[in-house]
Structure formats: structure tokens, C-alpha cells
Amino acid sequence: MLEIANLNKTFFPGTVNERRALRDINLTLREGEFVTVIGSNGAGKSTVLNMAAGKLFPDTGTVLVDGEDVTKLPDFKRAKYLGRVFQDPMAGTAPTMTIEENLALALGRGKFRGLGTGVTARKREQFVDELKTLELGLEKRLKTKVGLLSGGQRQALSLLMATLTGPKILLLDEHTAALDPQRAALVTRLTIEAVERHRLTTLMVTHNMEQALKAGNRLIMMHDGQIILDLNAQEKAAMTVPGLLHEFEKIKGAQLDDRTMLQ
Ligand SMILES: Nc1ncnc2c1ncn2[C@@H]1O[C@H](COP(=O)(O)OP(=O)(O)OP(=O)(O)O)[C@@H](O)[C@H]1O
């Protein structure tokens, strides 16, 4: 379970570059809930994800994982709770290491450095089984250096590495955005399968509204540092892309009207 309460963040406060990135964000993900996050550029989506990951700390507010306050815990100390896949296919894997070495590293995540990172026959068997689920033939390429894989293959591997140890929280930051439509669809399918298989509590940021509607069982829309729409599974299932655009325009319009009225 992930509980984000009253998060506020202002970058460069008191300067000409001041930017209020988050305005009192409240968001609770129950165990196994898969929330997709959409919103305009600069809405604060990545900032929320970075705070859940411990990459950034809020000015005020708290982040709890399974009831434990991790607000001030840096990302490397959250590794045992968190799986994360980034937009850049180069970011989640070590290119000069082989597929099996990367998987061994992922398996040892959160443990002391040097412990549990070797590849044993037993682990190799597990890696083969896990890689087969990707249906990309990577189980036959255990000794291939990851730098030689295509972007889609690397993202599929990153996803597997992020979910291998069944983390409490999975964070996906536009992880299919750099892929062609076919590969993006594949990684989306693998994501849905992995989340279901491990019952992962998941937060996925995407600019692709179709993907946001297809994946997950809840959808939130952000704008200007706030959550402006929160659809449950039923509402999400009935929603369409034009419907989302309509909601966005409607809510944005209402906010502008409110501000105008305040002046
Ligand atoms: N490290 C930072 N330093 C200064 N400002 C930042 C930083 N990170 C984010 N911001 C600002 O905070 C606001 C929210 O940014 P954020 O990256 O969270 O938006 P986003 O919704 O992920 O946008 P996009 O869809 O464009 O990636 C933006 O105005 C951005 O410029």
C-alpha cells in the first residue's frame, strides 16, 4: 500500500524561477491497485513518482509504504520496496553486463553489495523461466550483453528486473514512450501481465491516453500540480479518449473561471 498525503513541492522558491510543482497531493493506492497517471506537460506527474521513489523530497507532506514513513528515505534505501522502469531504455539495465548478470543484480537488489549477485545454476533456471514469459527468445541469450539488445527488448528486460523480487510498489515513468507502437504495445501487455502475476501496487505515468485506459484499474489526471480527475475501475472502463479530453477541457475551463472570479 502506498499512501501519499498532503505533498507540496516548490522548486527555486523565492526566485524568479519559482515553480510550484505540487499543490497538496493526496493519493492512496491499496495493495494490488494499478493506477495510470496522465496530464499536461509540467503537471507534476514525474515529481509525484520521484517522491514515491525517494529521488526527490517534498517540502511538506508524507509518503508511507505499508504504513512505514519513508518520506525522508533516499532512493537507494527504498530499493527493497520499489521496482522502477524509466522512459529511457538505457537507464534500467547495465549495457556491458550480460542478461543473466543483470538479472542476478536485480535479484540481489536491496541486499548488501557483493552478496547474492553471482549467477548460480539454480538462479539460471529461474531466469530462463522468467525470460520465457516475455516471449522474446531472450532465454536463449543469457550470455548476450544487454547493450546489444533492441530498445523494446531492453525495456521488457528492465520490466522483468523491476518485478523479479515482487516489490511492494512498481513505478513506471513513461516506460513505453521511446518505443515504436508495436514494441510499446508488447511492453504494455507484459506490464499488465507482470502486475497481475505479482499483484503489484503500481503507479504508471503515460502520455498515451489509450494506454492509460487499457492498463490498470484506476486513472488519475493531473494539471498544474493537482489531481483534477480520479476515475475508479468502473468509471475508467466506461471512459474513452475523447471523453478524457472533454473532461480535461471542462475541468481546466472551470479552474480558469474560478481564478477569473477571484480576481
Ligand atoms: N528538478 C527540478 N528543478 C526545477 N524545476 C523542476 C524540477 N523538476 C520538475 N520541475 C518543474 O516542476 C513542474 C512539474 O514537473 P514534472 O516533471 O513533475 O511534470 P510532468 O507532469 O512529469 O511533465 P511532463 O509530462 O512534461 O514530463 C514543472 O514546471 C517543472 O519544470
Domain-located, residue 154: no
| Ligand 1 atom nearest residue 50's Cα | 18
Contact yes or no for 130/123 (Cβ under 8 A): no
Number of domains the chain is built from: 1
Ligand 1 test: best mutation among 8, 23, 46, 209, most atoms within 8 Å of CB? 46
Domain-located, residue 160: no
CB within 8 A of 233, min separation 6: which ones? 217, 218
Domain-located, residue 64: yes
Range of the domain at 257: 2-92+168-262
Domain-located, residue 119: no
CA of 41 to the centre of ligand 1 (A): 8
Cα 51 → chain centroid:
12
CA of 155 to the centre of ligand 1 (A): 23
3-state secondary structure of 31: coil
One-letter-per-residue 3-state SS of 129-182 = HHHHCCCCCHHHCCCCEHHHCCHHHHHHHHHHHHHCCCCCEEEEECCCCCCCHH
Domain-located, residue 110: no
Domain-located, residue 41: yes
Domain-located, residue 35: yes
- Please list the pLDDT of the chain residue by residue as tens digits (263 residues): 999 999 999 999 999 999 999 999 999 999 999 999 999 889 999 999 999 999 999 999 999 999 999 999 998 888 888 999 998 888 889 999 999 999 999 988 756 555 556 888 889 999 999 999 888 999 999 999 999 999 889 999 999 999 988 899 999 999 999 888 888 899 999 999 999 999 999 999 999 999 999 999 999 999 999 999 999 999 999 999 999 999 888 887 766 555 444 43
Domain-located, residue 47: yes
CA of 40 to the centre of ligand 1 (A): 11
CATH of the domain at 237: 3.40.50.300
What cell does 50 get?
A: 520521484
